[in-house]
Amino acid sequence: MRKFKTESKKLLDLMINSIYTNREIFLRELISNASDAIDKLYLKSLTDASAQVDQENLAITLSFDKDARTLTVSDNGIGMTADELEKNLGTIAHSGSEEFKEANADKQGDAVDIIGRFGVGFYSAFMVAKEVSVVTRAFGSDECLRWTSDGIEGYTIEPVAADDPAYRETCGSDVILTLKDNTDDASYDEYLSEYTLKDLVTRYSNYVRYPVKMMVTKSRQKEKPADAGDDYKPEWEDYQELDTLNSMTPIWKKHASDVKPEEYNEFYKSTFHDWEDPARTFTLHAEGALEYDALLFIPGKAPFDLYSRDYEKGLELYSSNVLIMEKCADLLPDYYNFVRGVVDSADVTLNISRETLQQNRQLQAMERRIEKKITSELESMRDTDREAYEKFFGNFGRGLKYGIYSSYGMKKDELAGLLLFWSAKNEKYVTLQEYAEAMPEGQKAVYYAAGDDRDRLAKMPVVKSVLAKGYDVLLCTEDVDEFCFQAMRDFTAKGLPKVYADDAAREAAEKAQADGAEAETEDRSLELKNVSSGDLDLASDEEKKAADEAAKANEGLFGAMKDALGDAVAKVTVSAHLTSADDAPSSVSAEGPVSLEMEQVLSAGPDAAQAPKATRVLEINAAHPVFAKLQAAEEAGDKDKLALYTSLLYDQALLTEGLPVADPVAFAQNVCKLM
């Protein structure tokens, strides 16, 4: 026996027990090695006239023997000489494939795709095998050799006699694994199962360029005997057939024009276990310093666990058609976590186990390009198929909003244009850009109302008052909406009609347009304003003046009302937007960064006790008949009646806003007192 060197023994132990996290990938590694061996033979046939290869017969074959507990991976590739066995298998971490690639870099082209890189994949076999034999015959050699090792002490290399059943008549290699005995923690019998082997090939090696074949058991109906009577019942029998387990050609490597939509749909449903066709399918091919192909899908519906902690984002990452990671999270930003697909690149720098990557900057470059492609496709869907986009947004729009909030508004330029909100004025979903384009002249902000019910929001007095001014209001019903708008702060609308500084400039522009010039446009930053905030500034000068005069004239009344409410409100004042007897008698607004809706969302969270509170302001409609009742109670010195009226008005305003009253029992009792 030839002994492994001490250093090699330590390295081999590391290969077997530390580098790979999942033992089932041993089959991926052995199939990749077999594919490399066939590629080497094929490349030799391109440069050596004596090496004639029948491409149709190039294949990798799996077989197993349950009684002997052996699993065999065979190829009809280039095989190995005694020196190559010594160098490639006797020297750990020596990659014959990598050496071959470097020596033939100018000859490979697209017809050959050598996968091996580190020279350690073969040793993953010892994760499941107590002994590994390699029976091989090199191309052009008359000698068949056997390399055998237990993966502990060393290995032997010996010739195989012609009368030995293992003797190879042609070039190629058979890797024979004698599986470990089962333990309480691990069952190795599973690798002696048709089902398991087919599953591993489909999962990890489905797109290896050569067919991976295995004898599989199938069932068929027996022929009906000629003398069978009318009561004959069909009989079935099992039979063995050599079947190809892998599909070989990746669908993402084909030109999009050569693939039918149904084929993409079927690939998506079978690969990602979805019952519905994807809402959108698109491909990406990148060239340059980092080349890769991507096939991406936007699902037709949201997974049930999309917004749970257990949901894992990520794209399938392949290198040279071999699956490296089932979910590479670094290829997608969180707000596009719903996207599914595959990315294949031979250029990514893998770690030694081929389970993770070494260079984050490669992933970052790919992620940026993929992100831009997804954004572009969503914009196209928004503009060309609005019905489909609205359905998409209903499924995944929440994540886009959260992307703006979680990035503290840094991603608003990329994502704001994809958002949809319900227009109270037009009663349909609109984008922020569409909202801006429909604004009347002079509007300087985007107005929105946040709550849990669209119909209730539309009936709010403050929403009606804003609509009465001719301005639209976006009705937002998701808990993330308020946080999203707070993070955005403003929205830059593109190509709006230019606003001129004075009449002279406007007249000059109008004259130029009359002479044939195009109308001037500009990008304009619009503040995002919650209609329940206290700084809408929509009142006319006359309305502001009237409100100020009423507030000054009734300072004593408002002071008494503030005293009656205590710390529930910061102040009581006259409303500048409730200005007629037909409007509501009162409303509640918020001052400062915490809105009423934000307070409600935070109070439902796990840290409700520490959640910040909105600074509430009770606004009174001075034109409403109730205001006269308040004045009369204050003039009469009836503090109890004034406190009763104040409490009712405040609770009424809260209910109108969709907010809970602090003491429902007291509210009910106050209503009874009034009755």
Q: Which residues contact 23 (CB under 8 A, 6 or more apart)?
A: 124, 127, 128
For residue 162, what are the CA distances in angstroms to 47, 103, 125, 159, 165? 31, 34, 27, 9, 8
Least Cα distance to 209 among 110, 276, 119, 298 occurs for 110
Domain residues for 468? Answer: 420-530
Q: What is the pLDDT of residues 333-360, one digit of tens each?
A: 999 999 999 999 887 776 544 455 555 7
Residues 425, 510, single domain; the answer is yes
Same domain, 80 and 207: yes
Query: Do residues 460 and 586 both lie within one domain?
Result: no
* 50: in domain: yes
Residue where a domain stops, chosen among 483, 499, 530: 530
Task: Please count the structural domains in the chain.
Answer: 4
Looking at the domain assignment, is residue 235 inside a domain?
no
Based on the fold, state whether residues 436 and 309 are members of the same structural domain: no
Same domain, 432 and 572: no
Residues of the chain with pLDDT under 50: 93-98, 100-102, 104-105, 107-118, 352-354
Q: E strands, 515-629, where? A: 521-530, 571-574, 586-591, 615-620
Q: Please write the tens of the pLDDT for every residue from 270-292.
A: 889 888 999 999 999 998 888 89
Same domain, 603 and 667: yes
List the CATH number of the domain containing 356: 3.30.230.80
Q: Are residue 201 and residue 314 in the same domain, yes or no?
A: no
570 within a domain of the structure (yes/no): yes
Q: Which of 386, 404, 428 is the last residue of a domain?
A: 386
Q: Is residue 132 part of a domain?
A: yes
pLDDT for position 357: 52
In terms of domains, do 66 and 192 share one? yes
Helices 96-103/26-47 angle, 10° precision: 30
Please check whether residues 85 and 117 belong to one and the same domain: yes
Same domain, 67 and 208: yes
d(C-alpha 463, C-alpha 475), whole Å: 9
CATH number for the domain harbouring residue 93: 3.30.565.10
Examine residue 234 and state whether it is found in any structural domain, yes or no.
no
3-class SS at 107? coil
Is position 431 within any domain? Answer: yes
DSSP 298-328: E-SS--TTTTSTT----EEEEETTEEEEEEE
Residue pLDDT, tens place only, 437-483: 999 988 989 999 998 889 999 988 889 889 988 999 999 999 899 99
CA atoms within 13 A on the CB side of 234: 7
12 and 142 belong to one structural domain: yes
CATH number for the domain spanning 440: value is: 3.40.50.11260
Q: What is the pTM of this model?
A: 0.74
Rounded distance, CA 420 to CA 406, Å? 18
Residue 478 half-sphere exposure toward CB, CA atoms < 13 A: 19
**Domain assignment of residue 600, yes or no:** yes
What is the distance between the alpha carbons of residues 125 and 119, in angstroms, rounded to a whole number? 13
Helices 664-674 and 639-657: crossing angle in degrees, nearest 10, is 120
- Distance separating alpha carbons of residues 95 and 118, to the nearest angstrom: 5
3-class SS of residue 226 = coil
pLDDT at 19: 58
Closest CA to 389 of 516, 291, 298, 303: 298
Contact 146, 103 (CB under 8 A): no
Residues 526 and 592 in one domain: no
Residue 489 domain flag: yes
Q: Which pLDDT score, from 0 to 100, does residue 664 have?
A: 86
